[in-house]
Structure 1
């Protein structure tokens, strides 16, 4: 009996592509994600997804299991179940990546402000339409690369205007936050994999060798939008207590024209702007 493959198929079938950040317009013959979509979100090959679902693959690694759990929006209990089915230790130390319904409802009340939800290592999980319109369409990034730390230290194009001092402070706060997360979730395999990737950056290596541990502070940002110009925003990061999710909310800076520009973007959306990337 292929319990692992059956579980993956069931989780794939129940997930709305829109909830996974995938745009789709044509009706689907069957509900849920296609195998290719799951593969893209998890950063693995379609052939490997087929092998897993058909029971023809060896036990997936803990890192692959975590990538699948993230892509499938599994709860902590489901993630642990996936690990057990794959023959991996299923401790309680994996980073939660399920956005609860209560948080979805809160974000639904913030549609006038760019808002996004990240996990504890800054993997983007959910965003509202105004976030995409302001910062760029997140669906251009797939799999593990939909991560704010990767965008920052791999120098992805960004709409956020930073002076050198602002960039240095922002990067220091990201690394200090990651260090705190690494001690809170010492057995999550995605954390050392992410650190290994980020260490290609000399800026990250220098910061990682320092002992600072701290959350991301609130800050002022200026977004250079290609359609409406500079938008002056305040950036606030709220952290959920149990899951450690990061809720990023941008609000218009008082005394500026940011509110009128956000109102315009809410109407325009991402149309004709999808080629823009963001961080």
Structure 2
């Protein structure tokens, strides 16, 4: 049980709640944002002292019933609720992480020759990709293995893109997803990666410290390609649970400017 992270998480989610959202009358002077500890304890049906000890990282391991009550009192989303359970060791064990991409997935990558596609692990390392992904992003083979990481690009090479609304939105989704996967802090490789990126990038540190939690299932990514210009691509994510990997592929609406741009990229891959 990670008492320190549990304490941070409870304090953060309590601070986000407004009295009116739980049926309390707004008004009176409040020294802290959100609800008071005793108000959360009352909503969850536990003693204020017990809840205070949880927020101070010195409480006992909560039972499943207490966790369910806290999740309801704090109005947690499904992803946040699962995260709460994982912090206390009540969620099912995570699948073993692997960097080996199954042969059938590699074959699928090659067959998706009209769309950029790649396989990522839990910490956003790029494990495999197709030719269209190279055309869209960069020559992955030319990069050292340690630099084949979506988040390192985002908070390094593409730092200027973070200053745009689309770039910042995408970064928030990725960081919230990284925390929601449950690999942090259980997996030492993920924990070390987060610590390193936290020290290197103020933007990453800001988003990570916000403790947003939401598994990324699909999204829309807008960017500007140096050859074909503006792109608006739908990012679809297929989970490979037995490997703790995800297959990600990019598509565009048929006949749209972005679809025509992808076709242009595809045409540039083949000799005349």
1:194 alignment partner in structure 2: 193
| 1:117 partnered with 2:144 | no
* Structure with the bigger percentage of helix: 2
1:245 alignment partner in structure 2: 245
Shift of residue 260 of structure 1? 3.0
TM-score by length of 1: 0.56
SS in structure 2 of the partner of residue 253 of structure 1: coil
What is the rounded CA distance, in whole Å, between the counterparts of 2:186 and 2:211 in structure 1?
Answer: 20
Structure 2 residue runs of 5 or longer lacking an equivalent are 1-93
1:215 alignment partner in structure 2: 215
SS in structure 2 of the partner of residue 168 of structure 1: helix
Q: How many residues are aligned here? A: 178
What is the rounded CA distance, in whole Å, between the counterparts of 2:137 and 2:205 in structure 1?
Answer: 27
Change (3 A) 1:270 1:164: farther
TM-score by length of 2: 0.57
What is the rounded CA distance, in whole Å, between the counterparts of 1:94 and 1:153 in structure 2?
Answer: 27
Contact in 1 for aligned 2:95/2:244 (Cα 8 Å): no
1:6 alignment partner in structure 2: none
Give the structure with higher Rg (CA). 2
What is the rounded CA distance, in whole Å, between the counterparts of 2:184 and 2:190 in structure 1?
Answer: 8
Query: 1:103-252 counterparts in 2 under 5 A?
Result: 103-154=105-156, 156-157=157-158, 164-181=164-181, 183-184=182-183, 186-199=185-198, 200-252=200-252
What is the rounded CA distance, in whole Å, between the counterparts of 1:169 and 1:227 in structure 2?
Answer: 24
What is the rounded CA distance, in whole Å, between the counterparts of 1:98 and 1:194 in structure 2?
Answer: 19
What is the rounded CA distance, in whole Å, between the counterparts of 1:225 and 1:187 in structure 2?
Answer: 37
1:9 alignment partner in structure 2: none
Shift of residue 103 of structure 1? 1.2
What is the rounded CA distance, in whole Å, between the counterparts of 1:258 and 1:115 in structure 2?
Answer: 16
Structure 1 residue runs of 5 or longer lacking an equivalent are 1-91, 272-279
What is the rounded CA distance, in whole Å, between the counterparts of 1:270 and 1:150 in structure 2?
Answer: 30
Q: Relative CO higher for 1 or 2, CA cutoff 8 Å, sep ≥ 6?
A: 1
Contact in 2 for aligned 1:116/1:248 (Cα 8 Å): yes
Change (3 A) 1:253 1:189: same
Q: Deviations over 1:137-184 (max 9, x none)?
A: 122321222111111122x048x9677332222222211222133x34
Change (3 A) 1:260 1:93: closer
Contact in 2 for aligned 1:252/1:258 (Cα 8 Å): yes
Shift of residue 122 of structure 1? 0.4
Change (3 A) 1:161 1:207: closer
SS in structure 2 of the partner of residue 173 of structure 1: helix
What is the rounded CA distance, in whole Å, between the counterparts of 1:94 and 1:185 in structure 2?
Answer: 14
What is the rounded CA distance, in whole Å, between the counterparts of 2:255 and 2:266 in structure 1?
Answer: 20
